[in-house]
Amino acid sequence: MSLSPSTSAEQLVQYLERIERLEEEKRALMADIKDIYSEAKATGFDTKTMRQLIKMRAMDKDLLAEQDDLLDTYREAVGLR
């Protein structure tokens, strides 16, 4: 399938505009998330731990359990229990 140069240019511009819109939305969302972390910190929560929990909640439950077991084993091995 061969596209004419004008069609290809139009498609490229459309892709770029869509990406730019999404990048702007992403920036706005990141600012909202930053505000929420600031609010949580102001009320006494540890945001570093909250970020870790967010990552953990997104993980597969079996993988999370496996990592927890391995972490427990390593902590015990180095005397952190």
The residue extents of the domains of the chain are 5-77
pTM score: 0.74
**80 membership: H or E segment, kind and range:** none
Q: Using one digit for the tens of pLDDT, what is the confidence trace for 13-66?
A: 999 999 999 999 999 999 999 999 999 999 999 999 999 999 999 999 999 999
Cβ count near 21 (within 10 Å): 10
